[in-house]
């Protein structure tokens, strides 16, 4: 789950619509699925679309 040499974080995902100032925002994948907790922290490690990719190959 890397992007530019870093682990994929919510704030770097195209499916996250967070407030950069607050560091929290909704994950559109979790929200569409109906999860009760769809607000994530921007530095949270991706546990959705990039979670199953090996760290060395997850480039977006």
| The predicted structure's pLDDT at residue 26 | 93
Nearest-angstrom CA–CA distance, 32 and 13 = 16
Q: Report which of residues 39 and 7 the model is more confident about.
A: 39
- The residues that bridge with 3 in the sheet, in sequence order, are 6
| The predicted structure's pLDDT at residue 23 | 86
pLDDT of 3 strictly over 50 = no
Query: Which residue stretches of 1-60 are H helix?
Result: 28-33
* Token pair recorded at residue 44: 């949270």
pLDDT of 11 strictly over 60 = yes
| The predicted structure's pLDDT at residue 22 | 72
Express each pLDDT in 21-57 by its tens digit: 678 999 999 999 999 999 999 988 888 877 665 554 4
């Amino acid at each position: 789950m890397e992007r530019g040499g870093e682990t994929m974080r919510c704030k770097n995902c195209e499916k996250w619509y967070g407030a950069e100032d607050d560091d929290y925002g909704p994950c559109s994948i979790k929200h569409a699925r109906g999860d009760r907790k769809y607000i994530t922290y921007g530095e949270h490690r991706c546990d959705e679309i990039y979670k199953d990719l090996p760290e060395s190959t997850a480039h977006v």
